[in-house]
Each structure stands twice: as structure tokens, then as C-alpha cells.
């Protein structure tokens, strides 16, 4: 049994992500992510709002997948993740989309919220490569991934781009559906780094490696100091670290007083300075608007 077959077999008693809901998604049952085994795509096309090394000249070939296994209360894309908008695509239709994005010049295929679709995406990647897909595959996840699932994807993913959101179980429980977020996300990032290493950029375009994103929340609600320390101590300061300052309250965020505002420039500068003090010295690896 190959990795794709093993992943599909796990959908019968789904344990693809850390929730291990043990529902039969092949028979239409759903767990935390809200999705059956049918692949639902919300939208796709060249995207110019990603990191410069992904965007290049012609954009990142972004495919927004419906549903989510983390379900943050402040989600910026809540109509896709929580409300699950989109339409069902067969694997062959997804392959056609991937090839079309390559044909129009996109520099990569960027799967957004891929975790709960690991079996379907693995199959699509293999089929697309057999038909001439050569651009890198980006796995753009919340970080709430299982190491054993990631190992089944080894060799299929060129660029891992996880979030690392929280350290505190209390904050994770308040703002997401996963109080054990950091336990799994920290192990997942180490596995991703083992597979692909630091980011490799050729002629300004990312080819392979790890990009870590961390969305800074107001009032120290994202454990940013602890996140920076963890990355420095367990992965290293040469990794591409994107400390993101674009948070603003969306979806249910206004119901939580501590995250009901955007961050202020002084907050962001404090964390940038701290990251630099830990050794993240090269501005290329701290994607900053400051």
C-alpha cells in the first residue's frame, strides 16, 4: 500500500489531523473540519498578497480550500473556513486547475488550509506531476498538523508555510478549537523543517524550504515572545520568519475584548526588535513593513 492509499484508508476512521474525529468521511460523515471526503474549492487564481519570494512577477497560484480544522474566532477567511463556501471538485478537475495556473505563469501551487484534504491533495499532486507540473507545491496550513500525516506527504511538498499561532493551551482553547495546538504545531514545524530545510530562493523565487508565519495579536494574545524563542532554539534563526502585523478584528473577534482591536506600531516594533535580538538579523527573514 502506497502513501496515497494509506491516507485514503485513514478517511474511513479519520485521523488525518490532530482532532482524530474517527468519523467515516468516505461515507459522508464530518468531524471538526466540517468536510466529507469530497474536495471543496472556494476559489483559485494568481495571488499577489503572499511573501515576495512566492509572488514573484506573476503571482502565487493559490487554491483556497473549504473547511478548517482549527476554526479561529478571528478568521479573516471565515466564509471559507467556517461557512465552507465553495464547490465540489474531483481530483482530476483540481489537477486541471493546477496545470492551468502553471500555464498562465504562476510560480507555485499554493494550497491554503490543506490539512484535512491531505489524501486528495497527495493524489492530485502525483497526477499533476505526471502530466507536466513542475512548479513548487506550497502547503499553507494553520500548523495544526500531525507528524505521521506529514511524513506521508514527504517528497510531494516543496515549500511548507505553516502558521505558529500560540503556545498557551488556555489561549488556544479560547480562540480556536484546539487547546493542544502548540503540542502538535511545534512537532509539525520540526518535521516540516526536517523535510525541506531553510528556504531556497533562485532568481528571487522560492523553490524549496520552510516559511514560518506568526500573526501578532494585540495585548500579547499570540505568545509572540515564546514563539520567537521556540523557533530560535528548536529550528534556528536562519529560517524564514514572517512576523505579520496585518491582524484586524473579523468574524467573532469583537466578542473577545483583548483581540477586538488591531495592533499598534509600537507593539509590532517591540517584537521585531526582540526577534533581531535573538539572531533573526537578516531583514529577508523578518518580513517587516516597519
- The 10s digit of each residue's pLDDT in 122-144 is 999 999 999 999 999 999 999 99
pLDDT at 1: 82
Residues of the chain with pLDDT under 50: 283-284, 287-290
Residues ≥6 apart with Cβ < 8 Å to 39: 65, 88, 89, 90, 91, 94, 117, 120
pLDDT of residue 290: 36
Q: What is the pLDDT of residue 174?
A: 98
Domains of the chain, first to last: 38-285 (3.20.20.70)
What's the confidence (pLDDT) of residue 282? 54
pTM of the model: 0.96
- By DSSP bridging, strand 205-215 and strand 200-202 are antiparallel
Convert 184-211 to b/e letters by CB count within 10 Å (16 or more is b): bbbbbbebbbebbebbeeeeebbbbbbb
Amino acid at each position: 500500500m502506497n502513501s496515497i492509499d494509506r491516507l485514503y484508508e485513514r478517511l474511513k476512521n479519520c485521523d488525518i489531523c490532530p482532532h482524530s474525529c474517527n468519523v467515516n468521511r468516505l461515507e459522508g460523515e464530518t468531524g471538526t473540519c466540517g468536510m466529507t471526503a469530497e474536495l471543496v474549492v472556494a476559489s483559485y487564481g494568481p495571488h499577489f498578497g503572499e511573501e515576495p519570494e512566492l509572488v514573484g512577477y506573476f503571482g502565487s497560484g493559490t487554491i483556497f480550500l473549504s473547511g478548517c480544522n482549527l476554526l479561529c474566532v478571528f478568521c479573516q477567511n471565515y466564509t471559507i473556513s467556517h461557512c465552507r463556501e465553495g464547490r465540489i471538485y474531483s481530483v482530476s478537475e483540481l489537477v486541471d486547475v493546477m496545470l492551468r495556473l502553471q500555464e498562465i505563469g504562476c510560480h507555485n501551487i499554493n494550497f491554503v488550509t490543506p490539512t484535512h484534504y491531505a489524501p486528495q491533495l497527495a493524489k492530485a499532486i502525483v497526477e499533476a506531476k505526471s502530466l507536466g507540473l513542475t512548479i513548487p507545491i506550497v502547503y499553507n496550513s494553520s500548523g495544526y498538523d500531525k507528524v505521521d500525516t506529514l511524513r506521508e506527504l514527504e517528497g510531494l511538498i516543496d515549500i511548507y508555510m505553516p502558521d505558529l499561532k500560540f503556545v498557551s493551551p488556555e489561549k488556544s482553547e479560547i480562540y480556536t478549537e484546539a487547546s493542544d495546538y502548540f503540542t502538535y504545531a511545534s512537532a509539525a514545524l520540526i518535521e516540516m523543517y526536517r523535510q525541506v530545510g531553510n528556504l531556497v530562493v533562485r532568481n528571487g523565487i522560492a523553490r524549496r524550504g520552510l516559511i514560518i508565519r506568526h500573526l501578532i495579536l494585540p495585548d500579547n494574545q499570540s505568545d509572540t515572545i515564546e514563539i520567537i524563542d521556540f523557533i530560535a532554539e528548536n529550528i534556528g534563526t536562519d529560517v524564514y520568519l514572517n512576523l505579520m502585523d496585518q491582524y484586524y478584528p473579523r468574524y467573532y473577534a469583537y466578542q473577545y475584548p483583548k483581540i477586538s482591536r488591531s495592533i499598534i506600531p509600537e507593539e509590532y516594533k517591540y517584537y521585531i526588535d526582540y526577534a533581531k535580538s535573538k539572531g533573526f538579523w537578516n531583514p529577508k527573514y523578518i518580513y517587516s513593513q516597519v
